[in-house]
Amino acid sequence: MEEVDVEPAVTNIPGIRHGKHMGFAWGPGDILVYETLHRASGATGSGCSFIYMVRKDEDIYSPILRKLFNESHHIFVGLQTIKEDLPSKSKKPQFVSISRNYRSVIRACMEELQQVAVSTKEAEMSTQYGNQVSILLAIELIWNLCEVLFIDAAPAGSLLLHLLDWVRLHKADVDEKAKLVLQSDSPAEHRDYWDVVVSYVLQGRLEEARQMLVKQATLRPAARNMFKLMDSLLQKMPFYNPGGTQTLTEFDVKWRNWHEEVDRCLKDNSFASNHHLELICKILLGDEDTLLERKELLSSWYHFLVTRLLYCHPTVKPTELHFYAQSCMTMFLDLSVPEPLDNILLAAFEFDIHQVIKDCSIALNNWWFVAHLTDLLDHCKLLQSHNLHFGSNLREFLLLEYAAGLFTHHSLWQCAVDYFDHCPEFGRVYLELQIERVPLDTERKALKVLRICEERQMSEQVRSICKIMAMRALRNNRLGSALSWSIRAKDAAFATLISERFLQDYCAKGTFSDLDLIDNLGPAMLLSDRLTFLGKYREFHKLYGEKRFREAAKLLLSLMTAKIAPRSFWMTLLTDALPLLEQKEVIFSADQTYELMYCLEELTSSLDAAAPGPDRPMQEEDIEVTKVELLRLALARNLASAIVKEGTVET
Amino acid sequence: MFVARSIAADHKDLIHDVSYDFHGRRMATCSSDQSVKVWDKSENGEWLCTASWKTHSGSVWRVTWAHPEFGQVLASCSFDRTAAVWEEIVGESNDKQRGLSHWIKRTTLVDSRTSVTDVKFAPKHMGLMLATCSADGVVRIYEAPDVMNLSQWSLQHEISCKLSCSCISWNPSSSRAHPPMFAVGSDDSNITYGGKVQIYEYNENTRKYSKAETLMTVTDAVHDIAFAPNLGRSFHVLAIATKDVRIFKLVPLRKESTTTGPTKFEVQIVAQFDNHNSQVWRVSWNITSTLLASSGDDGCVRLWKANYMDNWKCTGILKGDGSPLTGLSGQPTAMSTVVGSSLQTSQNALNGLSAGRIAKRASFAPPLRQLTSPKINQSPAYY
């Protein structure tokens, strides 16, 4: 397949001088550029000191189009859940209905855009909205045709009926005109009267054409028979009924008979006295020249095509379409150059799905359309049947592009996650790369991102997000938050560091902050030794506060003997033991007191070994010595009372 | 594409580098005026300068952010032969109210005897590490063993590349199958010196970096180099800015179990573009490596994209047009692009709005009326 070579789009950056070097930096959804000079050594020279932010994907910033993205996301997710194992026949109606859902979302969006385009006072904005409507119109037009040809894949007979619906839907200005005509005082004399009648005939809306003709007939009693004849021709035109019992061949015979009758009427000059009716008669015969004379009423080659098929080949087969399409386009456009839209539609008539997708990707400035259409066609197993070995790659490629665009938006990124989930090859790694870049502005947003990662077992991203949050909290001195984030990150080193801070804070202030958190650590306490100690130490304080002295004492002692407490903290622990030792009631048993004494000795001997540093101020040394002496005294006294108590037989 | 916003950077000399932080909410700029500025994005999308300080005693070539797991940390490198590491400290609350932040220098890396041309933090799974390269042809790798104390950086490796170095890039792959790896480029223009891009790989056993590959086909001066995100693939993709833009694929060859030397690679060229006409100065990948941007002597930034068949093409050009800046609209247009003249042909695709007839605006109801017709704007979203 030949590559269409498209010139890359050039974006001019005002303010950067022509021919100067341009530096750049990728951002999320944009690229920054600035004027610079790239030279190897010590470059200086005044440049213009502006940085320009160039956006690439603009659609997502339109609030109305955002609805399109949001709603189509739901349809997309629904489509992905259609069971693979269903027989393809029973799936077809589902696919058609999904296709219609997509189109109705496009239509709803168009309506809204149209309304704001009309109501806005600014001319510039109005044009802008108008442009968007044009693009959506084109998208819906193409989508609808693809639905008829590929998804519904109507056979001969029904095919034309579908095409007629397609043209009627997209060439609806006749209704507008008809309304004006009918509302006028004398419709039959209205300037646009015949345009409306002819337009109805061109679209095969014969019932409506007849009703219009009645108005004219009553005005001209002299030509009554002629009008009656036309009315009967219009009434008699057979339409294929796919639900009925009639076979296609039977229909064909009937249609031919009718066609011959119309031909006879023309030949015997039945309408010669009224050129309007003669024109209609010629249209009913599918006369090319006549049709081409009414180009402005047809307005497009594909309307011309469908009208021609209606009156010449109503049983056209899908495989024959391309031939008629090509010739109609050539005839209708004459010498003017086909626009991208023409080529896309022609490719569809040629059943060249790949070319449709490709041309749409090139011609449309957004991935929404191609991604969703290709996905749907892929589900219909149409990409394979057209012998594109890269079918599913193409689907994934387009979905990834679309989702990556969504990801740059501050709220649409959540929709993008589902698209990535349904891209088996690169979806996950794309999501990993993108999701860790979502700005974690608030704890709430961080939790949202985290949940998405957790649901997908993205352990590295989970760890990283928690670590970022922990670091941020620590930098802002929010120790509790930092601790809970590092517990979530299972970051032992960081948990140790924060526990250390908690203990330092306690030593300095004598109180703990974030009690709730520390009290409810549970098994998370085991993440790091220091955290375990922090939790246990706080437990000691709680027991003490609740006057459960024995339990408190036991815990305090175990913190040292089981080496849970860092050596640097032993003195604080021993000092905490002081009030327990001084209680009237004996709390530490003799054995426990021995152990406390042992701890104190171990601590003081190691302190001695370290030798009093010269930088240590004398005063501090004194306090330490006094403390130790006080402790020794208290321990000795407690030991004495404990021995007495334990030796006393209770009577 | 369209210019959505302009930012008065207010540097007193040339800007050499602009760098986004990991989340794209902050940005740092550096300049020949020896300063670095930090910018924060406000709620309404405006960029506010929250810090500006003199960082070096020479032109500052590059500025780069560490991963936010390590806090708010910047590294810069300069013509003054040093690289420096900066950390933001959470200041007084009234500073915050005034929209100011404080950055303090944590260390100056003074080992180079010539201009330090590039500085890059290693992928975060390696810890807080950074690599510098300098005009004297030495790559230095530093590590901060304690991430809470950024004033301690130790020089872990010093690798002599023999040629004046201009740029360095870490391989971002965190796969266990890929040992730490970086590529270094040389801007020595003497083509007789051979390949200007060298790939170094870390060896677990020797605990040293050793040369794994030299890209022999790149003999002209190299100005920038960039590994693409790995995407879980077994091979690596490397973009190079030399006299043209080149994209290479490095496919690791199966190692024989007995050898302990560095991985050998099969080097494949994926794409080569000379659209910049002359020297190419910068190359850089977007987050998912679906787009490569390059800038060159032609004064353009070009965007390159591969389709699903891995064919690379230029899909966009940014070009200075020198016109003075006039009232940029902050309001981006949606779904519309530069309206080509082809759209204005009289053949109206759908609704037959014939030329000259003025469509009256009436209330809109589906089916659609003649105000608009389906139109497609030709602008490539190349696939």
Confidence of residue A459 (pLDDT cuts 50, 70, 90): very high
When CB atoms are compared, the residue of A131, A363, A404 closest to B336 is A131
Compute the nearest-CA separation of A35 from chain B (Å).
7
Q: How far apart are CA B180 and CA A543, in angstroms?
A: 51
Pairing of strands B73-78, B60-65: antiparallel
Partners of residue B338 in chain A, C-beta under 8 Å: 9
Q: Which of B333, B226, B273 is nearest to A11 (CA)?
A: B333
Which among B235, B296, B317 has a CA at the least distance from the CA of B270? B235
φ/ψ (deg, to 5) at A223: -95, 25
Whole-prediction pTM: 0.85
Better pLDDT: B376 or A327: A327
Q: Residue A78: what pLDDT?
A: 92
Distance from CA of B203 to the nearest CA of A (A): 24
- DSSP letter for each residue of B100-132: --EEEEEEEE---SS-EEEEEEPPGGG-SEEEE
pLDDT at residue A468 above 90? Answer: yes
State the pLDDT at residue B339.
28
The residue of chain A with its CA nearest to that of B280 is A38
Report DSSP letters for B129-183, one per residue: EEEEEETTSEEEEEE-SSTT-TT--EEEEEEE-SS-EEEEEE-----TTS--EEE
Angle, vertex CA B75, rays to CA B69 and CA B80, nearest 5: 170
A/B interface, count of CB pairs below 8 Å:
414
Could you tell me which chain A residue has the CA closest to the CA of B228?
A: A433
pLDDT score for B257: 59
Please state the domain extents for chain A. 60-155+352-421, 167-316, 565-651
Residues 6+ apart with CB under 8 A from A262: A233, A281, A284, A285
Query: Which residue of A48, A50, A51 to mutate against B (max B Cβ within 10 Å)?
Result: A51
* Residue A176 C-alpha, separation from nearest chain B C-alpha, in angstroms: 7
For residue A320, give the nearest of A156, A86, A442, A468 by alpha carbon. Answer: A156
- Residue A521: pLDDT over 70: yes
pLDDT band at A606; cut points 50, 70, 90: confident
Higher-confidence residue: A364 or A41?
A364
Over residues A300-310, mean pLDDT = 94
* DSSP conformation class of B14: -
Measured distance CA(A103)–CA(B323) in Å, rounded: 43
Answer yes or no: are the C-beta atoms of A446 and A469 closer than 8 Å. yes
Q: Mean pLDDT of all residues in chain A?
A: 87
Measured between CB atoms, which of A135, A361, A436 is closest to B383?
A361
Contact A12 B352 (CB under 8 A): no
Q: Residue B147: its pLDDT value, please?
A: 87
Residues of B with Cβ-Cβ distance to A118 under 8 angstroms:
361, 363-364, 371
Give one DSSP letter per residue of A508-521, joined into a string.
Answer: HHSS-S-HHHHHT-
| CB contact (8 A) between residue B29 and residue A51 | yes
- Min Cα separation A21/chain B (Å): 5
Name the residue among A3, A115, A344 with its Cβ closest to that of B364: A115
Cβ of B24 and A37 within 8 Å?
Answer: no
Determine the pLDDT at residue B334: 34
Cβ count within 10 A of residue B140: 20
- Of these ranges, A46-60, A181-195, A212-226, A299-313, the one predicted with the greatest mean pLDDT is A299-313
CA distance B235 to B249: 7
Render pLDDT for B190-219 as a digit per residue (tens, 0 to 9): 988 889 999 999 998 899 999 999 999 999
Which of B10, B231, B319 lies nearest to residue A429, judging by beta carbons? B231
Q: List, as own/partner pairs, every contact residues A393-398 make where C-beta atoms lie below 8 angstroms and the sequence separation is at least 24, other chains included.
A: A393/A425, A393/B308, A394/A354, A394/A357, A394/B308, A396/A423, A396/A424, A396/A425, A396/A426, A396/A427, A396/B308, A397/B307, A397/B308, A397/B383, A398/A357, A398/A361, A398/A367, A398/A370, A398/A371, A398/A374, A398/B308, A398/B383
Interface contact flag, B14 A11, Cβ < 8 Å: no
Q: Locate B155 and state its tokens.
A: 């020089």
Question: DSSP state, A50?
Answer: E
**Helix/strand/coil percentages in chain A, nearest 5:** 70, 5, 25
Residue type, A445: K
Position with higher pLDDT, A121 vs A25: A25
Mean pLDDT, residues A552-561: 91
Cβ of B24 within 8 Å of Cβ of A175? The answer is no
CA distance B245 to chain A (A): 15
CB pair distance less than 8 Å for A25 and B365: no
Average pLDDT, chain B: 83
Interchain CB contact of A176 with B (< 8 Å): yes
- Residue B195: the pLDDT is 93
Per-residue pLDDT, averaged over B46-51, amounts to 93
Q: How confident is the model at residue B181 (pLDDT cuts 50, 70, 90)?
A: very high
| pLDDT cut 90: percent of chain A above it | 48
pLDDT in tens, A561-601: 888 888 888 888 888 888 888 888 888 988 999 999 999 88
pLDDT surpassing 90 at residue B138: yes
Mean pLDDT calculated for residue range A505-530: 85
| CA atoms of B71 and B104, how far apart (whole Å) | 13
Nearest CA to B248 among B261, B259, B239?
Answer: B239
Q: Which residues of B touch A472 (CB under 8 A)?
A: 68, 71
Q: Which has more confidence, B232 or B80? A: B80
B22, B292, B372: best to mutate for the A interface, most A CBs within 10 A: B372
> Are the C-beta atoms of A415 and A73 separated by less than 8 Å?
yes
Is the separation of the CB atoms in A213 and A231 below 8 Å?
A: yes
Report whether A142 contacts A344 (CB < 8 A).
Answer: yes
Q: Is the pLDDT of residue B182 over 50?
A: yes
Q: Would you call A273 exposed, middle or buried from its count of C-beta atoms within 10 A (0-12, 13-18, 19+)? A: exposed
Give residue A210's pLDDT. 93
What's the pLDDT tens digit per position in A192-245? 999 999 999 999 999 999 999 988 888 888 888 889 999 999 999 999 988 888
Flag whether pLDDT at A58 surpasses 90. Answer: no
Model confidence over B310-366: pLDDT tens digits?
889 998 899 988 765 444 433 333 333 322 222 222 222 222 222 222 233 322 233
Give alpha helix (H) positions in A61-87.
Answer: 63-80
ipTM of the complex: 0.85
pLDDT band per the 50, 70, 90 thresholds, residue A610? low
Question: Quick one: pLDDT at residue B3?
Answer: 82
| pLDDT top residue among B244 and A58 | B244
Q: For B294, name the nearest residue in chain A, comparing CA atoms only.
A: A24
Give the CA angle between residues B48, B41, B321 to the nearest 5°: 75
Q: Tokens 């050039």 map to which residue? A: A10
Of B166, B296, B320, the CB nearest to A16: B320
Q: B382 to chain A: which residues are within 8 Å by CB?
A: 6, 361-362
The side-by-side arrangement of strands in the sheet containing A50-55 is A21-26, A30-36, A50-55, B2-8
- Which tens digits make up the pLDDT trace of A129-139? 888 888 899 99
